[in-house]
Structure 1
């Protein structure tokens, strides 16, 4: 028993060390971004102050909400065909998005002075979060991995996406049918833009949802993505820069409780909201190319699932059983089953997303 306790203590320290490293990286990056733009880090119109306000409030609020979720018996139902090491996580409270997403939304609204573009991106964030909450609630109610039907989930995502696009068309009709690309190039799409816009909202929310499968993975990679996106939009949309900083900070504060070993999971309530928020900011600021780079990890995770399903169907024999391209999809589960520890997976994904963010800022 003593050896086991010592091993767990070392494991906790490793998870904490990774969290501290990410916190230092994000804080230093925020200070550098503010310094290069001649902004004081303690001003409301900065990246640093919103980041740390939301990080501290979310972290503190978690010490009250997490035990409450535990008392409400919101324990996660773990899929039986997943990595066996995950079975011990059964019963860990989920639906953590109900406290860290609202912190970011409220802070962004107040610090931006309720700017119209922040209000609408907060609305799409809450809309997708509501879909996730409904899915989480059904999973908990049924005590299974199946929430609302995929068809209903997709219909709701498309519905909220269409409403967001209607607002976008009403307010930015003159410039919204083209996509800005790096080095000054422009891609005209005309009416096809609206199909792309809805697709981006649905795809991004599902991609962040798929990435949420290892302790601290989604929260950390999304925190990096939001900080990079905030730096991208700062010159043209300071209010959405504040929103991105708030979302990044709330993800960081959530990691206080979600780092390995996690005391709470964000659930679909959090992951769908985060994806909707990222896509919403990119559409409002015409930075879809930046979103594509910043979402590189989410894109790869999604591709791994699509490839797995397609390969299985293509190789299905007379017995109805096909072959698997990966040991398990998404990719992070394949890496785990290949011998990687959760912390190795998370560290590698953090590093990859940080490099993608640097590439994105270099190309702007």
Structure 2
């Protein structure tokens, strides 16, 4: 049984610029609508729109200065030879773009919330995961191969940060942290929440990392998930709402350069930090269920890899070769190899991410 092809939507072929304009308009209008719905826009001190716009503009300006610097440092991306052949032309595009859009989101959020303890905690987790990603990116560039730090080392570092964060939350003795809010009821896990925290942080950061394989995909879906999470945590954690709005805006600013055809990639520096940030907000605000829903695209991407590997191992014959369920995993590569353009894949995933964000808001 071979991998099935999905027909290509020939009539739907947006450009990277049109996707950027559409997504920016949707998120900005969504932020304005949410502020109007909650009455926040009137005073302007804790609304979504201003931090989102501020982070977006500063991310654009900083990218204009940083990307040429990355080019001078010869941080060109090493492209996998076993990946889609159309990606080979991207070789040499500077990577490690997370070094400018992640700090923008973190620093603006910290200043805007006056270094509120929740924001500081989430910021530290975000920067810690970004540092793990930077270490991986640096090793890839230093060795001039696709292999950075080993997957085992990367996972151990992610787990270590997760354990420290979980222990800090335990030390803070926050009763709400041990409770997961599910539709219709709350589930108290007690100390069992600690291994769950570590798992969520590692899983989310690896999931966003896997999603970063097509121009504009991780940044755009990350912007959508961040704004949705901002709206969800707003009633109970306005400071975390600001953090998420800043993250969403910074991702949009990065998309100016990362849209197809990308002039910079976020690298593990950005993708792992993005997942760590979303997970930390979901954990500290006791919104793990909402986090799962808004992260649906990241979950699908991860699941496609897990299913692909599992199916291959389960169907191994006497020669040691197995069958593949997808042409290539993660699933965005399967769609590409089925004839979809990158912008068609990204457009579809944006639409799904927006739907999931709205769904999470109303079932929270």
| TM-score computed with the length of structure 2 as normaliser | 0.95
Q: Which residue is equivalent to 1:4? A: none
Matches within 5 A, 1:210-359: 210-359=210-359
How do 1:58-137 and structure 2 match up within 5 A? 58-137=59-138
1:317 aligned counterpart, secondary structure = coil
TM-superposition CA deviations, 1:5-42 (whole Å, max 9, x none): xxxxxxx9811011000000000000001101111278
Q: Is the 8 A contact 1:227 1:244 kept in 2?
A: yes
Write out per-residue CA displacement over residues 212-263 of structure 1, whole angstroms, 9 at most, x where no aligned residue. Answer: 0000000000100000000000011110000000000000000000000000
1:174 corresponds to which residue?
175
TM-superposed CA distance for 1:176, in Å, is 2.3
Q: Is the 8 A contact 1:83 1:336 kept in 2?
A: yes
C-alpha offsets along residues 302-346 of structure 1, whole Å, 9 cap, x if unaligned?
Answer: 000001111111111121111111000000000000011100000
Where do 4+ consecutive residues of structure 1 move more than 4 Å? none
Give the secondary structure class of the aligned counterpart of 2:176. coil
Structure 2 counterpart of 1:6:
none
CA distance in 2, matches of 1:204, 1:69: 27
Q: Is the contact made by 1:41 and 1:47 (CA closer than 8 Å) also made in structure 2?
A: no
Counterpart CA distance in 2 for 1:138 and 1:219 is: 23
Distance in structure 2 (CA, Å) of the matches to 1:203 and 1:277: 12
| Larger relative contact order (Cα-Cα within 8 Å, sequence gap ≥ 6) | 2
C-alpha displacement of 1:175: 2.9
May I ask how many residue pairs the two structures share in their alignment?
Answer: 353
Q: CA RMSD in A?
A: 1.4
Alpha-carbon deviation of 1:43? Answer: 2.1
Q: Quick check: 2:226–2:278 contact (8 Å CA) kept in 1? A: yes
TM-score between both structures, scaled by the size of structure 1: 0.95
- Tell me if the contact between 2:214 and 2:342 (Cα under 8 Å) persists in the aligned partners: yes
2:21 aligns with 20
Q: Look up the SS of the partner of 1:191 in the other structure.
A: helix
Task: Tell me the distance in 1 between the aligned counterparts of 2:248 and 2:65.
Answer: 21
Q: Does 1:360 align with 2:356?
A: no
